[in-house]
Amino acid sequence: MKYKDFRNFRITRTCKEEFEDYQKYKPYLAKDFEHRCAYCNTLDSMIEPLYFTIDHYVPRDTFKEIDDTLDYNYNNLMYACPKCNLTKGTKYERK
């Protein structure tokens, strides 16, 4: 996949459940992201025995006064390999 195409790639979020513990969304994220990291496209099975993580696209701590659902809002959750999640941290670019 070319970078240009990757940018146009839309995640179809199929999860209709609502959890207050965002970790419970992990199997749904794995499916919706086709077992690939949202940032580097690595397959989750390629990094075994390490586990993929759940990244909050909009950092929940920075913006929790504005939106306190960010922690468990499925639309804010990204399936990410541990490397990308660590690199990203709480950086957030406003568009």
Binding site for Zn ion (CB under 5 A): 37, 39-40, 81, 84
Residue placing its CB nearer to Zn ion in the complex, 1 or 66 = 1
Provide, rounded to whole angstroms, the least separation between the CB of residue 78 and Zn ion: 10
**58 exposure class (CB count in 10 Å sphere: 0-12, 13-18, 19+):** middle
Provide, rounded to whole angstroms, the least separation between the CB of residue 14 and Zn ion: 21
Residue placing its CB nearer to Zn ion in the complex, 77 or 84 = 84
Rounded to 5°, the CA angle 21-24-25 comes to 110
